[in-house]
Structures are given as C-alpha cells and as structure tokens.
C-alpha cells in the first residue's frame, strides 16, 4: 500500500464494550491504525446517557484522533451508529462496514430486548453472570471473558432502544455516498430488510456469511478481520489517483 494506511474505527454492540473487538484489533491492527471506543452508557462510560447524537460525536472524536478520515465498522447497535455517522460526518467516514443491522425498527423488534433488559436488571449483579453464560455459549469462555472485561451495560438498553426507534437507518444510509458493505450471517434475524437497505445505498454491496448468526465478529473473527482489511484496501484504491 502507498501512503498512510486508512484507519478503522470499530463500534460495539448493545450492552457490551469495545473489548468485543479484541481479535479484530489485533489482526487488522497489524496493518493499519485501529480504535474501538466505548459508546456512551457502556464500558468505561457506564452511567452516561446514551443518545444517537452523543454516539456519533464519539465516532467523530475517534476519527479525528486517528487523522480525520477512517473506515467505520460496526455490529448491531454499532452498525446503526455507523450508518448515522456515515450520514452525518461527511468525508470523515471513508467507508462503512455495517454488520447485523439491516432491520428497520419496529415495535415488535424491540419488545424482546426490553423484556430481556428487565430480566437482567432484576438480578443483583445486573445480569452479569447470565450475560457471561450467553456469550460463552456463543463464542467460548475466552472470548466471553474479553467481551465482559468492562462489564455489561444492561442499564443502558432502554435508552439505546429509544434512540434507535427514533432513527431511520434506511433514510440516513441513502445520504451517504461512500462505499458500504452490509454484512449478515445467514442465520441472523436482523436480515429481514437487507434488500431495502441495499437499495438505499449509493455504492453498496451485500455480503452473506453462511451458517453464522448475529454475532459475526465472535462466530467468524478471522473472516471478519479479512473482510474489513479488504474493505479498507478497496477504499484506499478508490481514493488513489489513477495513472494517466
């Protein structure tokens, strides 16, 4: 690659933190600057109020700290934040990898999460033990320990759902003119509106990973790292002046 490698900012999912990206930070970080900030209300920022505006401001601060332009990659909640950031931050977002977030928000989609939030918060530990078991079953105990390193922000779930429900991801996605990779596991229930999301993209592509569910970076960490490296290289190649 010629010049400074394009940085990547990773955005985590609901109730976890930037530590969920440990494999990608290690693997992608061999080739380019990387960052995985905690969103408001999560990780080191527990107790802060989550809003979409504050989340996008967090992304902007990370991009600026990395030089002013970056590829943004997010999962689930992080994917929706990435869409909002791409729409609102202009050329600072060089490209977007949005994973597990191609479902338009509807009340029926949020009900299970609100019920789960109440269940977690009914436990004295805020559902920490139960969350560790859930992630251990999905990704193994080593990955679960890394994911839970900064705790589980079950108290932020309600604010996140309110913010997402007030946000139109398809409309915002249509405002972004840069390259977009919509990435879903074939078994992900958030695939329901993927064609609608794809049609909204000015420069979009849809990638389906077979035999994987919602937690793509945990279920197929090396594949996700490779895909993000390929996306970053594509953006670099697209931005490079063509020889006469």
Angstrom distance (rounded) from CA 99 to CA 107: 21
Burial 140-173 (b: 16+ CB within 10 A, else e): eeebbebbbebbbbbbbbbbbbebbeebebbebb
Angstrom distance (rounded) from CA 184 to CA 101: 8
Angstrom distance (rounded) from CA 144 to CA 148: 6
What local confidence, expressed as pLDDT, does residue 114 receive? 78
Angstrom distance (rounded) from CA 181 to CA 79: 11
User: Residue 129's Cα: distance from chain center in Å?
Assistant: 24
- φ, ψ for residue 88 (rounded to 5)? -105, -15
What local confidence, expressed as pLDDT, does residue 241 receive? 52
Give, for all 244 residues of the chain, the pLDDT tens digit: 457 899 999 999 999 999 999 999 999 999 999 999 999 999 999 999 999 999 999 999 999 999 999 999 999 999 999 999 999 999 999 999 999 999 997 777 777 777 877 888 888 888 888 889 988 888 888 888 889 999 999 999 999 999 998 999 999 999 999 999 999 999 998 899 999 999 999 999 999 999 999 989 988 999 999 999 999 999 999 876 544 3
What local confidence, expressed as pLDDT, does residue 244 receive? 37
Query: Helical H runs in the chain?
Result: 22-28, 52-65, 77-88, 107-122, 128-139, 141-147, 157-165, 169-173, 194-200, 216-219, 221-239
- φ, ψ for residue 175 (rounded to 5)? -85, -15
What local confidence, expressed as pLDDT, does residue 242 receive? 45
What local confidence, expressed as pLDDT, does residue 124 receive? 86
What local confidence, expressed as pLDDT, does residue 240 receive? 62
What local confidence, expressed as pLDDT, does residue 18 receive? 97
Prediction pTM value: 0.92
Helix (H) or strand (E) holding 209: strand 203-209
């Amino acid at each position: 690659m010629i010049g400074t490698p394009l940085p990547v900012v990773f955005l985590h999912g609901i109730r976890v933190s930037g530590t969920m990206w440990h494999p990608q930070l290690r693997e992608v970080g061999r080739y380019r600057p990387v960052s995985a900030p905690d969103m408001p209300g999560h990780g080191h920022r527990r107790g802060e109020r989550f809003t979409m505006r504050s989340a996008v401001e967090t992304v902007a601060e990370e991009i600026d700290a990395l030089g002013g332009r970056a590829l943004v990659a997010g999962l689930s909640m992080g994917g929706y934040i990435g869409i909002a950031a791409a729409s609102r931050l202009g050329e600072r977002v060089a490209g977007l990898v949005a994973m597990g977030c191609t479902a338009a928000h509807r009340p029926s989609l949020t009900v299970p999460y609100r019920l789960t939030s109440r269940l977690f918060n009914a436990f004295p530990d805020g559902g920490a033990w139960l969350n560790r078991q859930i992630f251990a079953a999905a990704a193994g105990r080593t990955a679960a320990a890394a994911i839970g390193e900064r705790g589980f922000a079950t108290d932020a779930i309600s604010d996140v759902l309110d913010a997402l429900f007030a946000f139109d991801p398809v409309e915002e996605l249509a405002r972004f003119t840069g390259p977009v990779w919509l990435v879903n596991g074939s078994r992900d229930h958030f695939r329901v509106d993927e064609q609608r999301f794809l049609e909204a993209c000015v420069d979009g592509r849809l990638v389906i990973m077979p035999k994987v569910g919602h937690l793509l970076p945990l279920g197929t960490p090396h594949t996700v790292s490779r895909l993000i490296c390929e996306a970053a290289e594509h953006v670099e190649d697209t931005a490079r002046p063509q020889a006469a």
